[in-house]
Amino acid sequence: MKGNFTMTLLKNLLFPFCLCAMMALPVLGQGIDDWAKAEQNGEQARKALLHCRQFVYAWLDHADPSENHILRNSAFIREAVYSPNGIRYETVSPGEEYLKVYKKPGTIFVDGAPLPQLEKWGYREEGWWYDESSHLLKVAHRRTRIKINF
């Protein structure tokens, strides 16, 4: 039985390995000019993404101030629900989020426990911080269910 498993595993891995090896052969023979061109293309793509990001942030500066938006998140957000009284969202892991909100939150809970308000934003410190002038809310959490009440 162990032999059949090993043989099946080899058959299943042999084809993808050979395919990858055959696809890599043309790359091995490429000259420096091709690699330089790939580097240029990568730099152009990086600049394009940077401009797109700047455009989105500029748009958000002029977005309806009565609406709330999650601008940036370090952990994938499973679900987000917006209401006039607050925002509720769940992430797949601990993380940090930057939000544009229409007013300062009253309370923020993470998995039902109150999250402390921070006097200044600190790296990797659990809590939340709000900037009145820009309506920017930053939230850092070690658990995954966040509820922001206005």
Q: What is the mean pLDDT of each run of 10 residues along the chain (150 residues)?
A: 46 56 56 79 85 74 76 90 94 94 95 94 87 92 96
pLDDT at position 9 is 44
| Helix and strand numbers, DSSP H then E, in the chain | 2, 9
pLDDT, position 115:
96
Q: Locate the DSSP E strands across 30-106.
A: 69-73, 77-83, 86-91, 95-100
Q: Are strands 107-110 and 77-83 parallel, antiparallel or unpaired?
A: unpaired
Domain ranges of the chain: 2-61, 69-149
**Cα-based angle 33, 36, 39 (whole degrees, multiple of 5):** 155
